[in-house]
Structure 1
Amino acid sequence: MIAAIIHHLRRRRWQRAEAMPAELRTADLVLSECPIRTRYPLPLCGQPDQVYQALNGDLIVVDSKTRRVPCVYLHDIVQLSVYRVILRHGGFPPVAGRPVRPYGYVRCQWGGAVRYLPARLLSESLILAFALRYLEARLPRPRSGS
């Protein structure tokens, strides 16, 4: 019992130091640096830093970055959006079928500070279009000529 109380107090202190958003402080960490993948609608894979399950069951993706200044780049949004597509299509069986929020967080670490920056995620159709374009670019080009 005492060990559980100590663990709880340490977790709360860490959450305050991290300045975590309230919805993440009350959520359960369900995935941490674990590979995820799906074959449908396209073969996609990734390894999110964290995935939390909110009180209502929704999943929230988080990716940590070390930066000179706290900011969210387009490639961060694409990366989190790919994780969302994978998770929506059963990319990690323990949380398969759970809805994934249309936003995630980039956990920016700079200097000695940490800040969670919200990031609105891209639509699944846009991510699939990017993935198809990427796959097509990797295909060998037909040789022309005589």
Structure 2
Amino acid sequence: MLLFLILLAVVILYKFLCSRKKAKLTPYMLEYFLKITDPVPLCGKPDVVWMNRKGILIVGDYKSRCHNKVYDSDVIQLSVYRLLVEKTQQKPVASFGYIHFKGASRKVKLLSEREIIDLYHRYWKIIEGQVKPNQAGNNSYCQNCSHQSICSSW
């Protein structure tokens, strides 16, 4: 009878441990420098890359600003991180990422590889003077811009 109770306790404990839910996301990579040369040269250091239960990687970035507004530049940055992770880790990467603010998180849809490549080429055409940049919709964006010297709007 004692052996039966011990065996029953072991089976119950085993079933309990197997039934516990795993964490939804587990850290996969933290602030690791990544670099690629193909399809375009890019480098960066994602704040965090998580892996979900299905083995899919998800990029994340932490922002220290007080407001929870997501800017286009945030989405571009996270999208570049996604491309870097995709090309260096040989694992599936989600088409979305998370931007974490103080006290809140936002899930954002990321740009495609093609959109990142197009932005890369447009950036260099602007720098080389082949294309005029679009004027910012809000002049306050221009106050700390590093391209003021080549901008006709400034």
When normalised by structure 2's length, the TM-score is: 0.65
Higher relative contact order (CA 8 A, sep 6+): 1
Partner of 1:105 in structure 2? Answer: 98
Q: What secondary structure sits across from 2:78 in the alignment?
A: helix
The aligned residue for residue 79 of structure 1 is 77
**Cα distance in 2 for residues equivalent to 1:99 and 1:128:** 19
Q: 1:66-124: per-residue Cα shift (whole Å, max 9, x none)?
A: 2222121111100000111111112xxxxx21111010000011xxxx21110110111
Describe how 1:1-146 pairs up with structure 2 within 5 A.
25-90=23-88, 96-109=89-102, 114-139=103-128
Which residues of structure 2 form unaligned runs of 5+? 1-21, 131-154
In the TM superposition, residue 136 of structure 1 has moved relative to its aligned partner by: 2.9
What stretches of structure 1 of length at least 5 have no aligned partner?
1-22, 91-95, 142-146
Give the paired residue count.
109
CA contact (8 A) 2:66 2:101 kept: no
- How far apart are the structure 1 equivalents of 2:36 and 2:123? 17
Give the aligned residue type for 1:47: K
* TM-score (norm. length: structure 1): 0.68
Once residues 111 and 129 of structure 2 are traced to their aligned partners in structure 1, the CA distance between those partners, rounded to angstroms, is 29
